[in-house]
Amino acid sequence: MPDTADDLVGLVVMGGAMAAYEDFPGRNAELALLRAALDAEIPVLGVCLGAQLLAVAAGGAGRPGDGAQIGWADVWMTQAARSDALFAGVPERLRVLHWHGDTMDLPAGATLLASCDRYPVQAFRLGGSAWGTQFHLEVDETAVGAFADAFPEEAATAPGLIESAPAELAVLARHRDGVFKRFAAFVAARAEQTATRAFFTRRAATWEERFADDGPRYAVAVERMELRPGARVPDLGCGTGRALPALRAHVGDAGLVLGVDLTPAMLTAALRESRDKDGHLLLADVCRLPLPTAALDAVFSAGLINHVPDPATALREWARVTAPDGTLLLYHPSGRAERAARHGRPLDPDDLLAEHRLRPALRTADGTCPATRTLRTTSWPARPASPAEPAAHATGCGEPGMRNTVADNDRAG
């Protein structure tokens, strides 16, 4: 079982003979992984025991039922299921395979999607990316036979279980396959966002402590943007919002400062640091900003370009929301050489922040710096880097359009 959710883009937790409310080998690890997945908004599907564990991980409870529910029987979709990402299109009455004796109490905020008279909690959703089903939607004829072989005494309480399986599955299969295809498509469509959230969620609580010395470097980088009072500027991929105080100091009370991040845990950490006093915090994908064209005067981005799935798309989007003659500052508090040394590896010539790669990307970002224009480079004098005054270099387009600035913390980059 994974120790962390860092590398997950989706999580499916199946059933078993154990009880969600009793200890069993791996229970604590499963619950920890489910909680991490919920925190990072990783798509989750829990089935039977997996659904009960999902409910427990979110603050609900598993408990014994009033007896075993075995065999084919109806469940009824709720009104909420009609617009659900997975269950929309499933008929109001669906005949499914039940095989359980325990049940669960849902946590606050859960959405009930399917029910039946004996056990009201049959399917549910947590937030917008986690689902649980008490019934076994996943079965085919082989799985039904395996259940009966593994639990013959329980199977004997459901006469005709095996014999009726082909007819039952002939009706169920289309809806079964539809739900699972939609879940797979949901996972695939947001896999890149999920990977980013999973990576940063676990690190959010200690981010400020780990990078406590970066504040002065951020202030120097912001100063080089030459922002005017009243300007509109976001910190894209703001994390805990360390650049927001410096941005606010330059644009003043009349300016607009946004802290934009994809990871809720990072914005929660920003709130703990009271960074909302310096700017508005916005949960959004920096590659699909919910802003009109030319809405901003400048864009600040620290350490983000290497984390977006498609840097060219990101640069075009940032150009779109920036007014003509606006400024884009791509910044990293530690330079390429410093980061390579820290990780014990040589400089990577394919690193997007290498100038021979970054210049073409900036020139072609939404046509704001077409290749026919002259690209001018300005460098600050080389000097020893310090937290208060990092050495840096800048690259800019000298004609109207977006002025692109790259600040790095060592000249070797």
Model confidence over 263-281: pLDDT tens digits? 999 999 999 999 999 999 9
From the list 30, 41, 100, 136, the catalytic residue is 136
- Asked which of 15-24, 110-119, 204-213, 370-379 is least confident by mean pLDDT, the reply is 370-379
Among 172-176, 221-225, 247-251, whose mean pLDDT is lowest? 221-225
Annotated catalytic residue 307: no
Beta strands in 134-247 (DSSP E): 232-236
Measured in degrees and rounded to the nearest 5, phi and psi for residue 92 equal -60, -40
State which amino acid sits at residue 144: V
Distance between CA 154 and CA 394 in Å, rounded?
Answer: 72
Count of other CB atoms within 10 angstroms of residue 211: 17
Tell me the pLDDT band of 396, cut-offs 50, 70 and 90. Answer: very low
Q: Which helix (H) or strand (E) holds 181?
A: helix 165-189
Tokens 């920003």 identify what position? Answer: 270
* Radius of gyration of the chain, Cα coordinates, nearest whole angstrom: 27
Express each pLDDT in 92-110 by its tens digit.
999 999 999 999 999 999 9
Task: Give mean pLDDT, residues 171-194.
Answer: 96
> Which helix (H) or strand (E) covers residue 100, if one does?
strand 93-105
List 48, 238, 287, 397, catalytic entry: 48
DSSP letters, 361-403, are HHHHGGGSS-TTSPEEEEEPPP----SSS---EEEEE-SSSPE
Letter string b/e over residues 278-296, b meaning 16 or more CB atoms within 10 A of that residue's CB:
bbebbeebbbebebeeebb
Q: Classify burial at 1, counting beta carbons within 10 Å of its beta carbon; exposed 0-12, middle 13-18, buried 19 or more.
A: exposed
Active site residue 338: no
Residue the block writes with tokens 């021979």: 356
The confidence score (pLDDT) of residue 354 equals 75
Ranges assigned E (strand) in 148-295: 232-236, 256-261, 280-283
Residue 399: predicted pLDDT:
32
Neighbours of 26 (CB within 10 A): 12
Q: What is the pLDDT of residue 219?
A: 92
d(CA 266, CA 262): 8
48 counts as catalytic: yes
What is the average per-residue pLDDT within 55-67? 97
Q: Are 58 and 38 in contact (CB under 8 A)?
A: yes
| Token pair listed for 208 | 């400020």
pLDDT at 403: 53
